[in-house]
Structure 1
Amino acid sequence: MEVSRMHLVDSSQNQSAEALPLGEKYMLTIKEAASYFNIGTKKMRRIAEDNLGNIAVFCGNRFLIVRPKFEEFILNSSEI
């Protein structure tokens, strides 16, 4: 009984995390941002490291990209 209940809880958490499209998320992981903006993950990580506090935050052991601020950053940049 306990195993099936745990399985239901885990599946509901996964569905809620995946249900929100990337365009509606406020913060994106490096992989999500690279996919969304069509930029390589290494380049995205370098941009996040160079602009920490402006367009990216460090949460635990990972970078999170603030999507609206990164969109502004791209619009104001002549090259990435």
Structure 2
Amino acid sequence: MNKKTTIEVPVWEKSNLTLEEAAAYFNIGQNKLRELTNESNCGFVIWVGTKRLIKRLKLEEYLAKAYSI
């Protein structure tokens, strides 16, 4: 019998995060992340069909420059 091996990549090593992962990693609510990524000029979101992925490094840069969100 073949066992499937799953590879677990730590969140801090991923280039793209799901909303749930990004919310936990950055301590920002999922609703706030949805609000930010709904903007058409958002530079840290990737749409895969209807699923949105957050570009971790781009969001880190955005948050480093932001006074408030």
TM range (shorter): 0.7 to 0.9
Unaligned runs of 5+ in 2: none
Higher relative contact order (CA 8 A, sep 6+): 2
The match for 1:21 among 1, 10, 14 is 10
TM-score, length-normalised on structure 2?
Answer: 0.88
What are the superposed Cα offsets for residues 30-72 of structure 1, whole Å, 9 maximum, x if unpaired? 0000000001111111111125551101112211000000000
Q: Distance in 1 between matches of 2:31 and 2:66?
A: 18
The structure number with the bigger radius of gyration is: 1
TM-score, length-normalised on structure 1?
Answer: 0.77
> Which residue in 2 is equivalent to 1:48?
37
Count residues in correspondence. Answer: 69
Q: Higher helix fraction: Structure 1 or Structure 2?
A: 1
In 2 relative to 1, CA 36–67 (structure 1 residues): closer, same or farther, beyond 3 Å? same
In 2 relative to 1, CA 49–30 (structure 1 residues): closer, same or farther, beyond 3 Å? same
Alpha-carbon contact 2:36-2:42 (below 8 Å) kept: no
- Report whether the alignment pairs 1:36 with 2:25: yes
* Aligned-pair Cα RMSD in Å: 1.5
